[in-house]
Structure 1
Amino acid sequence: MQMAWAEVNSLARGTESQAFAPFPCETLSRSFERQAASTPDGVAIQLGRERLTYRELDQRSRQLARHLRKLELRPDSLVAVCFERSFDLIIAMLAVLKAGAGYLPIDPSYPVERISMILDDANPSAILTQEALAQRVGRRGSGSVICVDRDRHSIAEQGSHGLDESASADNLAYVIYTSGSTGRPKGVMVTHRNAARLFTSTAHWFNFGPSDAWTLFHSSAFDFSVWEIWGCLLSGGRLVCVPHWVTRSPSDFYKLLAEDRITVLNQTPAAFYQLVQLEEAGVVEELKLRYVIFGGEALNFANLRPWFERHGDQTPQLINMYGITETTVHVTYRPVTAGDSRNETRSLIGVPIPDLRIYLLDSELRPVAAGDVGEIFVGGAGVARGYLNRPELTAERFVRDPFAEGPSMLMYKSGDLARATESGDLEYLGRGDLQVKIRGYRIELGEIEATLADHPSVAQAVVLARRDGPGEPKLVAYIVGKPSASPTAQGLRDFLKARLPEHMVPYAYEQLETFPLTINGKVDRAALPAPREVVHAGPERASMPLEREIGEIWREVLATGAVGLDDNFFDVGGDSLLLANVHGRVQRELKLDIPITDLFEFTTIRGLARHLSTSTATKASRADAQERAQRQRAAFGRRREFHGRDAS
């Protein structure tokens, strides 16, 4: 295996650099067509009880591709796709690639202002969506908006026979936008070659095939979905689309894993810890998992100890894969063992994928000494083309690789810190800048700060990710107001919610007269105070036993002594992970079988207690829960009336 830190930094013992020939690559659409011809009757996509075979997916995507080709798309042009996780999402992505363009995934839960910002920057030639979402993506001068449900009949009239391929492996496959430090998100341009080699270069580790069933758990705008979708469809597997409401309910998702016999599960560590906790609470079903693949954030091996005690470390095999959007999803590979969970406190991320190179360098791009901390630079076939319409930023982050042959070879400056261990492993040490990862999303704190600074009452803004209580790190905003201005926490929250995705909206807002400074005159972030406890309306007594019981659960889960009956769960430090904890305890301790979507809808103690006390049926069927969840999802994601922390 080629380990660049071994040959450049001489940090790994007992490893010999090996030369790898480039893996053969073709477009994603061509690879899919070969797979569809090999397993035409195999199930390609599943949503609930509905299924679509590889033959049907191939035919329907060809019909939509022909419809798109009327727009005279060219290679490297973009077509936006905005759908919930569904058949239409996958058909649209595949159709865009067959038409010769690259797809631009838009999460429909994003605020309209952010969607408009992305569309204005990317300027796609067309937008594929559903009629119910058309108003969220339609804009003046944006190109054609095609609603596949409204236009289904005209699309179905197109021929379903094969198409000539107009794109090459070096053309764009997709552009995914990530957080930007200046307040402007940046689009990462990934080619077919970048994406296709990810699967060929890792095939010897996983041996994915038609007998595998995968979940599509993550948002299409999160690059983990690239691995889920194409890893499954290019190997003949069955892709199970997970409804949004199920991603928010660990118990329902766990049932789905068992009922749909999932073999390949891709999760952020925070999401998987919920499943571990569920099993610890006594919910255990027969699972068919072969692999659990982690990505998106640092993995704490000790949190996996209960899982290993029940399942061992062979079936399923747990794999930690560090990755970056700019280097095409995954960079490293490391199996995790039961011994790691007992003995290893470091965050170890393993060795690079065979066609990638990792360097640990200092600020002068020199290899660091053995055992020293360096910044991770990634070179090789996964390095993306750069940032769309951002040549200066591309030149800053995608730099010439001085350790590779050929002047055109680039490496990506990640901003992540690591050191190499004596055994040849890499120890991940976190960010070296103001980026953080929360629930798998990479967030530029500077983007939140820049957006806050646009508020008419804010003079200065600093945002931190803090862990002052239970659950995952939470965003806290610190504000210095303009003279005679008194911005309120709710006003600032509403301002951000109209402009940023839910996972980028802080839960707490602290107003200071001035920011503490370091000796060098910079903001001393370490000296910023912990957020003060929320001042509640008053010590109102619970009017019914159910309010008191729910209140006790809330206070214990949130680790706070005071929660008002009308306080919103998400405004007093709650997040989706903690809400799942509340859901489990309500079901166990109060003997109430309720869908987790009720907790997203009734987000105060009083509201939830009244709902539960007046409900005539405490055991909602899964079908009823899903139908209600569709309405709640619209409010939660589009009208943004609730305050959940969305990370899918």
Structure 2
Amino acid sequence: MEPHSSEAELQQPAANGWLSGQDDLSAAPTKEEPITQRDLDKIWRWNSIVPEAEERCVHDMIQYQAQARPSAPAVCAWDGNLTYHELDRLATGLAGQLVDLGVKPNMLVPLCFEKSMWTTVAMLGVMKAGGAFVLLDPSLPGQRLQCMVREANTSLLVSSAGEHALASKLCPKTLVVDHGYFRDDVDSQPTRSLPDSDPNSIIYVVFTSGTTGTPKGAIITHKSSSSGLRHQIAGLGYTAESRVYDFAAYSFDISIYNALTTLLAGGCLCVPKEQDRKSTLAGSINSLRANTISLTPSVARLLSPADLLDLKTMILGGEAIHVGDIEPWWGRVFTAYGPSECTPTSMMNLGPSSPEEACRLGRGVGVVTWVVDQHDHNSLLPPGCVGELLLEGPLVGLGYLNDPKKTAAAFIDDPTWLLRGSSGQSGRRGRLYKTGDLVKYAEDGSLVFVGRNDSQVKIRGQRVELGEVERAVQDCVSVASQVVAEALVPAKDGSSTSLAAFIRMDGLAMAESGLSMLSINKDSQKKLEELLPSYMVPTVFFSIREFPMTPTGKTDRRRLREMGESFSETMTEKPLEESTEVDAPILESEQPAFALAQKVAAMLPPWRQRDMTANGGSGYEDICLFPSGLDSINMMALAYFIAQQFQVEIDLEVLMDPSTSIRGLAGLVTDSQAAS
């Protein structure tokens, strides 16, 4: 998660000492006029030209590649390969079938697939049929998937054979797309009449966390998507020689971006098996001969450039980026930023002069960027001042599905400063998206991220509305009278962010400090996992006597984060469930359990490491892995460690099983070694 901002920082220009106009006090902004003419002219020079919109549908642009390079590889997947001609032929056949099944322009069609070459066929087929796809991640909780399908108001769902059972629970009418489907000569039937292309039609809807507890769907049109892809492909260096690794889960919209960007550039999308991308990432990248990949910094830290000599381009985004994330990949790394509401990528840092500069957001690509007062979007701010980032241009999406109120709040038209313009630059009308991100202009017009102006955070690259987490914990933990969720960032640079829930429980005896750790019972944990995606389930719980308050009577979230991040070893744990018999500690003589325990302890936050130590610090408790607070990124790191240290591959699902303990894992490692 990106760093939070102090009140002082949000009200003052940048603390690095520079401020445009500081050598001329008469040109300085005043309380009545927050921006000088000089600064206004400078900002308008940066944003004078809105990038041109692309008036073509994405599938038409992909079809151009199919006609120009029919025999070139389009998809290289674990379950098969497709040339551009084959991809276009299969997608066209599917599109005709979808039209026969009632798909109309702008109709939403959910897709439920594991990682597979058929996902790309299904996406393109829905586009050609005039529909809009909703990419579902089968690993999400069933309740959440049901909510998405319900919001899509669909009468048809397309799935793989492997996910057909799940798809049938989500929608009564399903179509299975796989080798068997096309063996029935679907693709060889006479070409059906497909709808005319309309760039203003919807291409897809992507769901993100919502403040009300219901996921909100961001609507993207073909024009928005194709405009972004057109402006960004060259900057990223995508060509017909690009082999792009499809790492992102389908719950990330970057998975859509990877597929479409690759195909529009004439490159090859490399689709790994689900297990391979999680457990043997480096080996999978090499086996698919991928030379380009997009990752969050948390995942990139698991890789070594020395193991990936063919990798030419590393694109980092989705989380705060540190110098230590850039340095190993310097010379072949780009950073990218973008809210789902404006296509997955709207800003890039393409030409940094140093790793430090590479940590900035960069500049708009396909959009222009404005910084306004976070409390008044009609007040433009000068360079160096922290404010809310607004995006203008063809990438701005339509709004939120079935939610005109949220759409009106986040998507605005014609702010006064845009209509007014500047000296030498006439004003204009425009539609802008309020990102909620707090940023400031650097001297060169690039943007530096500062924080958020709301309760949204990033966990493992995914947007999380803390209000949704709070509601779920309140519903699932019966003893909670009040809940506040927060993201805790360890002081150690580059460490993973932990999602914490602070719970006030009336009548509970508290430690003198007023803050104690909690262990919620198994039933509550199970309910949370059934309700929320894994990245939204808190990994640490605290009981608190009273929540700190601001002078205005609101919960002091900043103070709460400080309390959680500085949690002391002297604070005692207050479990919510009966304690169980403790097994003998794991000592150094017990291998491989001791080596595994050392690795697990090193990945845990400080407050969890204390719980693991035993025998005066010379041993470790035998704990279950997933309930201890390890997330999926930690589990990937543990799988890599086991593969390198013991030459054994352990399925990530085994590591994520709540019952898998350190000793149990050690037994699996020993058994696998004996069997090999």
2:668 corresponds to 1:611: yes
Q: Which amino acid aligns with 1:335?
A: L
Code of the residue aligned with 1:550 in structure 2: it is: L
Aligned AA (1:148): V
Name the SS for the 2:207 alignment partner: strand
C-alpha deviation, 1:618, in angstroms: 6.6
CA-atom RMSD in angstroms: 3.1
Q: Which residue pairs with 2:438 in the alignment?
A: 417
* Alpha-carbon distance change, 591 to 469 in structure 1, aligned in 2, over 3 angstroms: farther
Inter-CA distance 443–285: structure 2 relative to 1 (3 Å threshold): closer
Partner of 1:156, secondary structure, is coil
Match of 1:541 among 556, 561, 585: 585
Structure 1 residue 54: Cα displacement? 1.1
CA distance in 2, matches of 1:40, 1:285: 30
CA distance in 1: counterparts of 2:187 and 2:82, whole angstroms? 19
Residues 263-274 of structure 1 mapped to structure 2, 5 A cutoff = 263-274=291-302
Compared CA separation, residues 615 and 216, structure 1 to 2 (3 A):
closer
**Aligned twin of 1:507:** 539
Change in Cα spacing, 1:16 to 1:66, as seen in structure 2 (3 Å) is: closer
Of 90, 96, 110, the match for 1:80: 110
SS at 1:138 equivalent: helix
Q: In structure 1, what is the equivalent of residue 376 of structure 2?
A: 364
**2:208–2:216 Cα contact (<8 Å) kept:** yes
| Matched AA of 2:321 | L
Deviation of 1:24 (Å) = 3.2
Task: Tell whether 2:354 aligns with 1:340.
Answer: yes
Residue 297 (structure 1) aligns with: 319
Q: Which residue of 2 is the match for residue 631 of structure 1? A: none
Letter in 1 for 2:501: A
Is 1:594 aligned to 2:628, yes or no? Answer: no
Supply the distance in 2 between the matched residues of 1:583 and 1:498 (Cα, whole angstroms): 25
Deviation (angstroms), 1:604: 1.4
Cα contact 1:302–1:340 (8 A) shared by 2: no
Alignment CA distance shift 1:88-1:584 (3 Å): closer
Aligned letter for 1:273?
R
Instruction: Determine whether 1:571 maps to 2:627.
Output: yes
In structure 2, stretches of 5+ residues that fail to align are 1-34, 420-426, 510-517, 613-619
Matched position secondary structure for 1:349: coil
User: SS at 1:411's partner residue?
Assistant: strand
1:352 aligns with 2:364: yes
Judging changes above 3 Å, is the alpha-carbon distance between structure 1 residues 587 and 222 closer, same or farther for their aligned structure 2 residues? closer
TM-score w.r.t. the length of structure 1 is 0.84
Q: Which amino acid aligns with 2:602?
A: E
Task: Name the CA shift for 1:267/1:153 in 2 (closer, same or farther; >3 Å).
Answer: same
Residue 434 in structure 1 maps to residue 455 in structure 2: yes
Q: Which residue of 2 aligns with 1:201?
A: 231
Say if 2:245 is the partner of 1:215. Answer: yes
Single out whichever of 23-32 and 498-507 deviates more from structure 2. 23-32
Distance 1:8 1:105 in 2: 47
Shift in Å, 1:396:
0.7
Alignment of 1:76-155 (within 5 A): 76-139=106-169, 142=171, 144-149=173-178, 151-154=181-184
Query: 1:584: how far off?
Result: 4.5
Distance of 2:602 and 2:51 partners within structure 1: 56
Output aligned runs, 1:160-559, within 5 Å: 161=191, 163-249=193-279, 252-275=280-303, 278-279=304-305, 284-289=307-312, 291-308=313-330, 313=331, 316=332, 318-335=333-350, 337=352, 340-341=354-355, 343-344=356-357, 347-365=359-377, 366-402=379-415, 403-404=417-418, 409-455=430-476, 456-468=478-490, 471-481=495-505, 488-528=520-560, 529-530=563-564, 537-538=581-582, 540-542=584-586, 544-558=590-604
Q: CA deviation at 1:155?
A: 6.5
CA shift for structure 1 position 340: 2.2
- Looking at structure 2, the residues matched to 49 and 618 of structure 1 have their Cα atoms a distance apart, in angstroms, of 28
Structure 2 CA distance for aligned equivalents of residues 8 and 453 of structure 1: 51
Query: What is the distance in 2 between the residues matched to 1:617 and 1:6?
Result: 74
Decide whether aligned partners of structure 1 residues 561 and 171 sit closer, same or farther in structure 2, where only a CA change above 3 A counts.
Answer: same
Distance in 1 of aligned mates of 2:523 and 2:255: 34
* 3-state SS, counterpart of residue 465 of structure 1: strand
Count of residues in Structure 1 that have an aligned counterpart in Structure 2: 595
Aligned to 1:630: none
Quick one: distance in 1 between partners of 2:290 and 2:234?
Answer: 21
Distance 1:6 1:228 in 2: 41
Post-superposition offset of 1:387: 0.3
Structure 2 counterpart SS, 1:538: coil
Deviation at residue 319 of structure 1 after TM alignment: 1.5
1:129, 1:213 → 2: CA distance? 26
Q: Spell out, residue by residue over 1:432-453, the C-alpha distance to the aligned partner (whole angstroms, 9 max, x if none).
A: 2111111110111111112223
- 1:495-525 CA-partner distances (Å, limit 9, x unpaired): 1111111111111222334433333222222
Q: Which residue of structure 1 lines up, in the alignment, with residue 616 of structure 2?
A: none
For the residues of structure 2 that align with 1:487 and 1:284, how far apart are their CA atoms? 40
1:626-645 equivalences in 2 (<5 Å): none
Helix, strand or coil: the match of 1:476?
strand
Question: Could you report, residue by residue, the CA deviation over 1:353-410 in whole angstroms, capped at 9, with x for unpaired residues?
Answer: 1443433334222011331101001111111000000011101111113255699732
CA distance in 1, matches of 2:213, 2:414: 29
Q: Call closer, same or farther: CA 1:609–1:220 in 2, change over 3 Å.
A: closer
Distance 1:181 1:222 in 2: 18
C-alpha separation between the residues in 2 aligned to 1:21 and 1:513?
A: 53
Normalised TM-score (structure 2): 0.81
The alpha-carbon deviation at position 170 of structure 1 amounts to 0.2
Deviation at 1:259, TM superposition (A): 3.5
Range 362-371 or range 448-457, more displaced: 448-457
* 1:566–1:606 contact (8 Å) kept in structure 2: yes
Residues 116-145 of structure 1: CA deviation (Å, up to 9, x unaligned): 1111111123100134423433358x4621
- Paired with 1:191 and 1:7, the residues of 2 have a C-alpha distance of 37
Using the alignment, how far apart are the partners of 1:533 and 1:383 within structure 2? Answer: 49
Identity of aligned residues (%): 26
* Cα deviation, residue 542, structure 1: 3.4
Give 1 or 2 for the bigger CA radius of gyration.
2
Q: Which amino acid aligns with 1:205?
A: G
Instruction: Verify the 8 A CA contact 2:370 2:380 in the aligned structure 1.
Output: no
2:238 match: secondary structure:
coil
Counterpart contact for 2:648–2:672, Cα < 8 Å? no
Tell me: CA distance 1:618–1:400, structure 2 relative to 1, closer, same or farther (3 Å).
farther
The whole-number CA distance in structure 1 between the counterparts of 2:175 and 2:38 is: 51
In the alignment, the residues of structure 1 paired with residue 413 and residue 145 of structure 2 have an alpha-carbon distance, to the nearest angstrom, of 33
Offset at 1:487? 9.3
Q: Which amino acid aligns with 2:499?
A: L
Q: Is the CA contact 2:228–2:346 (under 8 Å) kept in the aligned structure 1?
A: no
Match of residue 7 from structure 2: none
Cα separation, 1, equivalents of 2:594 and 2:174: 51
Instruction: Confirm or deny: 8 A CA contact 1:379 1:401 kept in the other structure.
Output: no
Post-superposition Cα deviations, 1:280-307, rounded to whole Å, max 9, x if no partner, equal: xxx5342241x22222122212332233
Unaligned runs of 5+ in 1: 620-648
Give deviations 1:602-625, integer Å, cap 9, x for gaps. Answer: 831110111122235576xxxxxx
Contact between 2:79 and 2:117, CA under 8 Å: does it hold in 1?
no
